[in-house]
Chain A
Amino acid sequence: MSSAVEPSPLGQDLLRVTDVSAIPAEPPPELFYHHRAGMLASAKRLWAHREIIFTLAERDFRAQYKQATLGILWALLSPVLTLVIMIAVFSRAKSFGTEGIPFALFSFVGILCWSFFASALGTGGNSLLSNKALLAKTQFPRECFPLETMGVTAINTVLSWIPLVILFVIFGRAPAVATLWAPLFMVLEVAFAAGVTMAVAGLIIQMRDLVQVLPVIISLGLFVNPVIWPLSKLSEPSVPKFVLPLYCFVNPLGPVIDNVRRTMLLGFEPNWYLVGIATLGALFYLVVGYRLFKRLEVSFADIA
């Protein structure tokens, strides 16, 4: 490989004046730029820029609680408050059956799983818009923005698992040994959330109407997911056989919530059949979401 370059034949000390009339109105068609960003190359580039994700996440996490008197304590307090409200509201509502688990514990585990996805999508979907200033001035991979907000959400979520300990104490229970499977489900959830968030973040730039629609969809998700109802509802005889696997593929979060409950609260082995389908679903969302994002990124800086 030679590192030398031939001196420019035109020379640099010459004044070159362009003949403006010789420039056509449009470039020849073969000159048009096609954005090619392969998954592997993009992922490599993203890995090289991982520090930016951490730094941006740190920025948002620090900024989140700056100037609040209780500061970082809020990361613990807000899920507790949510829990109190949930218990107050739903314990009076008609119970869908909780498979023998106290309702508070049953629903709180569901809420924790769901709220990670919901706030990852809510903040991540808008992350390109809220980072407009950086988007138009910097060159690092664009997926850093949605992933960074997911990082912040992840930290907040981990902190909000702590109140769960209180609930275990109140009900005199202990998490089962099978809880050790939980990290696997979290990986599935992160993959699913990352795929959906990237797709939404990319699309929202093109269609601002989504900004208005997104919160509505997210709030619907609370009921679509088995947060206050058990997934076993879908395997009842009155429901057609194909519904459960289809549901698990389209919404991998459903089996994730169900299996976290199974392992942590009931001490059963994971339902591998459903976990398998959920894995396929999550991978599908991740690949499609990332590809879509990379395809759309050409115009981000121009129209954000």
Chain B
Amino acid sequence: MPTLPNGSIQVEQVWKRFRADLTAPLFYDQLKRLRHSIGPGRRNYRWVLKDINLEVEPGASVALIGINGSGKTTLLKVISQVTYQTAGYCNVRGRIGALLSITSGLHPDLTGRENVFLYGTVLGMSRQAIRKKFDEIVEFADLETAINRQVKFYSVGMQMRLGFSVAAFLEPDVLLVDEVLAVGDANFQQKCLQRIGEIVRQGTTLLYVSHDLASVEASCDRAVWLADAVIQAQGPTKDVVRMYRTAVEHNAMLVTANDGELRVLKAEVKATDGGQIRSDCDVEVILTVNARESLDGNFFIGVSQGTAFPMFVVYQHGTLPEGDFEIRCVLNHIPLPKGRYSIWAAMVGSKNSPYMPWNPVISFEAFGPDQFRPPEGVMILTPIYVKADWQVN
């Protein structure tokens, strides 16, 4: 095996399984299990990682994306040697900083100061390094006098600030971050992302797990998409994220319920002038629907980037007739930059009773200018196309 430079990750044909029958707390269950293990049939295993191949060069920033339970955290744990692979090779060079949980290393009964030392050592810093960085850590966490208070009297936000601040000064060769920023206010998230950006610029390798595709696109140049224990695709963030979004959208369409009071039979989306859908043009959505009975309520149409959370929603109150008919809606000047989007629809009755659940009905491609990139470390939550006129006086 060639010598790898510090900060590189090499994962080769890694497999990982868990026992499927882990909990059997009652004696009765134990007996049942005993009968099973005596009888035919092997032990039940569940593969959570299958044939994972991944190579990360020093200084690269790579995102791991995928739905819950796709194996992202397990892969991080194997790479950081918190747990061991069942098969395959995993080779990481340099000091690993694994930020798998932001507050689990904190002890509630100790003061903030004591916890800085505790958490820092646990993450792999020497006490001397912590002493040197102590003031910086406290300043970054914005805790001031609270540092001498017991951590159990901290708010959750303060605990997270403390935890992240310690980790932020770790200076590892490889930084693994697992979804730790999902909670916390916008200010804090922004600060964390900025700090992570700084760390990456200093040459640290970053492996970043997140469901927040916007922050993934903002902070990583490569992405790895995990699904069903397998790496489905890896490559430039934009391409992989687009594939992931399409797949999520596809899955959502598969589960579209067919037994509601209202069903979408056919969906069509086009530019009103008959050409391509471009940023800032008018778009018409035509839905052929079937209602079992006459319905009175609000009809919603939303546009999203594949997920269930739309970028915007329009709705109309009205009474729909029974039988098959068409609903047409023109969205004026759609504020969408270039990209792939999906249209979601729902109908909700006056007593909040859903006639049709929130489901994707069709997706489309918008053409137009690329979105402008924000300054580094700043992320765009929802891409919107806005025409701008500039003037410098």
Contacts and interface: CB of A to CB of B under 8 A. Distances in A.
Interface of A: 1-6, 8, 12-18, 20, 23-24, 26-27, 31-33, 35, 51-52, 55-56, 58-59, 62-63, 66-67, 133-134, 136-140, 298, 301-303
B86 A27 contact: yes
B101 A137 contact: yes
B98 A139 contact: yes
A301 B80 CA distance: 12
A20 B243 CA distance: 15
B122 A134 contact: yes
Contact of A16 (B83, B87, B233): B233
B239 A303 contact: no
8 contacts: A2-B2, A18-B233, A24-B51, A26-B47, A59-B118, A139-B81, A301-B83, A303-B22
Interface string B226-268: 0010111111100110010000000000000000000000000
Given A31-B15, A138-B105, A14 B235 contact: yes
Interface residues of B, number: 57
B114 A15 contact: no
Contacts of A58: 114, 118
Given A5-B2, A139-B96, A301 B77 contact: yes
Contact of A139 (B82, B114, B239): B82
B98 A55 contact: no
Contacts of B81: 139
B122 A55 contact: yes
A18 B100 CA distance: 27
Contact of A3 (B3, B109, B232): B3
B234 A16 contact: yes
B110 A66 contact: yes
Given A27-B13, A55-B122, A33 B86 contact: yes
A67 B109 CA distance: 9
B172 to A, nearest CB: 11
Given A23-B51, A27-B15, A32-B86, A17 B233 contact: yes
A50 to B, nearest CB: 10
Contacts of B55: 8
Contact of B50 (A3, A23, A140, A298): A23
B126 interface: yes
A15 B240 contact: yes
Contact of A1 (B3, B122, B123): B3
A6 B3 CA distance: 10
B321 interface: no
Contact of B8 (A5, A26, A56, A134): A5
A13 to B, nearest CB: 6
Nearest to B102: A137
A103 B145 CA distance: 53
A259 to B, nearest CB: 37
Of B2, B15, B100, B228, most A-chain CB atoms within 10 Å: B15
Nearest to A6: B2
Nearest to A60: B107
B4 interface: yes
B171 interface: no
Contacts of A12: 57, 60, 222, 235
Nearest to B85: A33
Interface in B35-59: 47, 50-51, 55, 57
Contacts of B88: 27, 31, 33
B134 interface: no
A136 B82 contact: yes
A253 B209 CA distance: 50
Given A8-B55, A52-B122, A55-B117, A20 B230 contact: yes
B28 to A, nearest CB: 15
A5 B5 contact: yes
A134 B104 CA distance: 6
Contacts of B231: 18
B232 A302 contact: no
A16 B82 CA distance: 28
Contacts of B100: 136-138
B87 A27 contact: yes
